[in-house]
Amino acid sequence: MTRRVGIRDVAQHAGVSIATVSNVLNRPDRVSAALRDRVSASADELGYVPMPAARMLRARNSRLIGITVINVANPFYGSLIAGAESAAVTAGMRVFSGNIDDDPQQERDHLGLFDSVQVEGALISPFADTRAAVHQMRGHGIPVVLVDAVDEDGLLSSVSFDNRAAAAMAARHVLELGRRRVMFAGSRHEVTQVREREQGARDAVEAAGLTLAAERLPTTDPISGLEFGARLVAMDPSERPDAILCSNDHLAAGIVRAFTNAGVRVPEDIAVVGYDDTPLAQVAAVPLTTVRQPAFEMGHSAAQLLLARIADPLAERETIVFAPELVVRASTIG
């Protein structure tokens, strides 16, 4: 009977210590890229299956993939989940989803639940700090792929969207239309995606020699937009923004409704830009100019990367970044 290749064999073949191999397998952030590559090459050549992966193959046979999203009330995340499910079902897997609902504690609870139901891998759309979420999953030997986010440590595969470029594109659009009092309206600043969008808008506005106003709201659903829009309506028209860039379509649609209810003309008096290009963008009181994110494709691609990682724990890390597209409608050009 052929002896199973062990960690000692990999260490000898790579010319490193057993501790180094252990770090590559369990704590890769502590090892240089060159050493990781050398150990991985030796493991591949010898046909070594890491023990954490072997345990997972024995214990984690639920055929479940976990996915967390920031807020499922936003149709973007529903499409993201649908994309992940389409890839998972093709591979004979099912998707177990968890709604964070803008709450870091909910995120921790869902990740703990994923572990208890023995998911074989996890797609994480992190609320804020990716490190905490990733550390929890990797500590239990669960493969992780980030979706709608980039791994700050460069260790994990990820599928993301260029938020800064997208928001800069939206800002340049309203600037080219002659708008000069530009505001960004979004949710709390600890949400990485929102922070990136605000920064992209600021970059473009400041490049034009102007200053970006910013409003951070507790929530960004249509009702919040309606309430915030009412506050803007009450402002002196000479001081009110003449263009608003919103962090999602829900917020933008609520703001537009507040303006139309009060007789403020969109876009003649104020231009409004959404984000995501959800169905709501097309049926808003004034159809929204918006940044299109390919949510379904992002979810599908992320699930494919995760399935590859489940099949081969030493699979090469991949990073996919989708480029933005601005969809121009009546809320900016009439």
Count of CA atoms in the C-beta half-sphere (13 A) of 17: 4
Write down the pLDDT at residue 220: 87
Task: Report if pTM > 0.95.
Answer: no
- Do 92 and 104 fall into the same domain? yes
pLDDT-derived band at 187, boundaries 50, 70, 90: confident
- Do 285 and 167 fall into the same domain? yes
Cα-only R_g, the chain: 23
CATH code, domain carrying 270: 3.40.50.2300
What are the Cα distances from residue 28, in Å, to 44, 96, 156, 219? 16, 28, 10, 37
Residue 147: CB atoms within 10 A of its CB come to: 30
Write down the pLDDT at residue 133: 67
- Is 187 among the domain residues? yes
Q: What is the mean pLDDT of the chain?
A: 88
Residue 162 has pLDDT above 70, yes or no: yes
- Is 72 among the domain residues? yes
Instruction: Kindly state the average pLDDT of the residues 246-250.
Output: 96
Angle at which helix 33-46 crosses helix 18-26, to 10 degrees, equals: 100
H/E stretch holding 133: helix 130-138
Helices (H) and strands (E) in the chain, counts: 14, 12
Instruction: Kindly state the average pLDDT of the residues 175-191.
Output: 91
Asked if residue 36 lies in contact with residue 28, where contact means CB atoms within 8 angstroms, the answer is: yes
Asked if residue 299 lies in contact with residue 84, where contact means CB atoms within 8 angstroms, the answer is: yes
pLDDT-derived band at 58, boundaries 50, 70, 90: very low
- Is 53 among the domain residues? no
Q: Is 242 helix (H, G, I), strand (E, B) or coil?
A: coil
Amino acid at site 277: D
Most confident of the following: 185-189, 253-257, 305-309: 253-257
- Is 2 among the domain residues? no
Instruction: Kindly state the average pLDDT of the residues 36-62.
Output: 69
- Do 78 and 119 fall into the same domain? yes
Higher pLDDT, 31 or 300: 300
- Do 284 and 168 fall into the same domain? yes
Instruction: Kindly state the average pLDDT of the residues 72-96.
Output: 92
- Do 136 and 223 fall into the same domain? no
Write down the pLDDT at residue 270: 98
Write down the pLDDT at residue 5: 74
- Do 262 and 289 fall into the same domain? yes
- What the block records as the tokens of 247 is 């962090």
- Do 182 and 37 fall into the same domain? no
Tally the domains of the chain: 3
Burial zone of 177 (CB within 10 Å; 0-12 exposed, 13-18 middle, 19+ buried): middle
Least confident of 263-272, 274-283, 310-319: 310-319
- Is 54 among the domain residues? no
- Do 86 and 41 fall into the same domain? no
- Do 193 and 222 fall into the same domain? yes
d(CA 248, CA 170): 12
pLDDT-derived band at 53, boundaries 50, 70, 90: very low
Residue 94 has pLDDT above 60, yes or no: yes
CATH code, domain carrying 25: 1.10.260
**Which pairs from 149-153 meet CB under 8 Å and 24+ separation?**
149/124, 149/125, 149/192, 149/193, 150/319, 150/321, 153/29
- Is 1 among the domain residues? no
Least confident of 74-78, 128-132, 319-323, 328-332: 128-132
- Do 314 and 290 fall into the same domain? no
Write down the pLDDT at residue 189: 65
Residue 138 has pLDDT above 90, yes or no: no
Where in the sequence is the domain holding 16, given as residue range(s)?
7-48
- Is 55 among the domain residues? no
Residue 328 has pLDDT above 50, yes or no: yes
Instruction: Kindly state the average pLDDT of the residues 218-239.
Output: 94
Task: Give 18-47 pLDDT, tens digit per residue.
Answer: 667 766 775 577 678 888 888 888 888 888
Burial readout 260-278 (b: 16 or more C-beta within 10 A, e: otherwise): eeeebebbeebbbbbbbbb
Asked if residue 31 lies in contact with residue 20, where contact means CB atoms within 8 angstroms, the answer is: yes
* Residue matched to tokens 């600043």: 189
- Do 236 and 88 fall into the same domain? no
Bridge partners, residue 158, by sequence:
146, 319
**What sign has the CA pseudo-torsion 204, 75, 83, 328?**
negative
- Is 199 among the domain residues? yes
- Do 283 and 314 fall into the same domain? no
